[in-house]
Amino acid sequence: MFTASDVTQSEIITIIDPEEPTETARQMLQNRLLHRYMGGPLPEQTLAQPVQHILDLACGPGGWVLDIAFAYPQATVIGVDRSRINIRYARAQARAQRRSNAYFQEMDILHPLDFPDNYFDLVNARFLNTFLPTEEWANLLHTCLRITRPEGIIRLVECDYGVSSSLACEKLSEYYVHALQNAGLRSTPVGRPLTIGQTLPLEDLLYESGCRGVQQRTYTLDFSAEAEANIGMVDNALIFLRQIKPFVLKMGGVKPHEFEHLYQEACLEMRSHTFCGQWLLEMAWGKKSVAGAQQK
């Protein structure tokens, strides 16, 4: 069994190769599903006008940026990601969709963000739990606070691994959580409240970073056999389970033959007409206070 001390930082942030075409396609599929069934890229709020500058951290292939650029055509929307392939793909999508207000930059969020102070109206970060080391969260959020304008919003979105009637999927999810724990990443047990590491929930982490007026909302996405989201979400889940196999084999304490057996069982169970499944997502957001900006 590996432990966090056996893992270098470069290994921690490569659970899935972000430049593999299958992963790019999966992320774009997942983005479409989330926005369709949750009511858009910002389902919990409407940004006050005028909005000038929006940032998406670790934007991947750019789905959230492109949708926000469409929703707020007067705003400049920037996505940053450390993957050159993702940035090239996102730029091509922006050209194809004629999103002239969508921009993408190659940038590693574990390093200082190259943006001016008090610049963005909204800084968005989704699904950082699976690659951002626990000890880096505070530093990143303090940087986000620096580049956000007074009364601007910092927004976090994370997911738990849900619950389902597939025993094989539940077991694979358990192995995945153990692998994340051993890599020094998120350690929330399956089906438990969303937290960063072993302590702070998202809203507390925002408050600790200096945000005020922090709010939280949880969404449950039903992808049971009879649900509208079933086919797309099951496809997304099975592709994800296949993609994480090398990481789980290395860090999760499972043997290759056991993983493969569980995966085949999960394929059958999740495509069954009796399958039940729910995916849990949490959003938390807060504002940069004027007083905090004046004290800097």
At residue 280, does pLDDT exceed 90? no
Q: What is the pTM of this model?
A: 0.88
Average pLDDT over residues 275-292: 88
Distances from the Cα of 129 to the Cα of 100, 101, 102, 168, 227, angstroms = 31, 28, 25, 23, 27
Domains parsed from the chain with CATH numbers: 4-295 (3.40.50.150)
**pLDDT score recorded for residue 42:** 93
Give the per-residue pLDDT at 50: 83
Each residue's pLDDT tens digit, 56-77: 999 999 999 999 999 999 999 9
pLDDT band at 19 (very low <50, low <70, confident <90, very high): confident
Each as own residue / partner, the long-range contacts of residues 268-272 (CB below 8 Å, 24 or more positions apart, any chain) are 269/165, 269/166, 269/167, 269/168, 269/169, 270/164, 270/166, 270/169, 270/234, 270/237, 270/238, 271/234, 272/225
- Condensed to tens digits (0 to 9), the pLDDT of residues 201-218 reads 888 889 999 999 999 998
Q: Give the dihedral sign, CA 135/136/142/148.
A: negative
Q: Which region among 26-40, 117-131, 159-173, 186-200 has the lowest average model confidence (pLDDT)?
A: 186-200
Note the pLDDT of residue 132: 85
pLDDT of residue 206: 93
Per-residue pLDDT tens over the stretch 106-160: 999 988 899 999 999 999 999 988 788 888 899 999 999 999 999 999 999 988 7
- At 4, is the pLDDT very low, low, confident or very high (cuts 50, 70, 90)? very low
